[in-house]
């Protein structure tokens, strides 16, 4: 097999891999997740931390640090990252609960009752006889 054929085979295989639905779904999820991370970071830094800052007299945990000799341990950044994680985990949890609830309601909905079966030829004949007898005797 020549190098050109190997390249074409590799390209075709890669194209088939990319065209799969779940790969595209994953790519969309990664992009949306990246955008959502920016929202969660802003929520933490711009809304939650100022409120927390009222109680701890510091507007940002990023400034919290311990200096030991020449080493600086910035534990505030870690606290900030933990808060971001908790916010994102909470939002994902709420989304999953909402989606599961939607699926449960959809599954729990009773199926539509089946249409009544078509009367058999015998039943049709009996119905005709009954109707003729009613018409012949003057009953309604």
H helices of the chain, in order, are 3-19, 21-42, 49-56, 75-108, 121-137
Q: Average pLDDT, whole number, for the chain?
A: 82
The residue ranges of every structural domain in the chain are 3-137
Q: What is the mean pLDDT of residues 72-94?
A: 85
More confident site: 36 or 21: 36
Q: What CATH code is assigned to 3-137?
A: 1.10.1200.120
Strand partners, 73: 66
pTM value? 0.50
């Amino acid at each position: 097999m020549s190098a050109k054929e190997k390249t074409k085979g590799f390209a075709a295989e890669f194209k088939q891999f990319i065209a799969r639905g779940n790969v595209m779904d994953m790519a969309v999820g990664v992009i949306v997740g990246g955008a959502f991370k920016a929202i969660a970071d802003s929520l933490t830094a711009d809304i939650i931390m100022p409120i927390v800052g009222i109680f701890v007299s510091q507007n940002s945990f990023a400034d919290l640090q311990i200096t030991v000799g020449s080493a600086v341990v910035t534990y505030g950044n870690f606290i900030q990252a933990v808060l971001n994680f908790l916010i994102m985990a909470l939002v994902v949890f709420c989304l999953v609960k909402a989606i599961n609830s939607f699926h449960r309601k959809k599954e729990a909905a009773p199926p539509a009752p089946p249409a009544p079966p078509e009367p058999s030829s015998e039943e049709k004949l009996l119905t005709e006889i009954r109707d003729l007898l009613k018409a012949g005797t003057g009953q309604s």
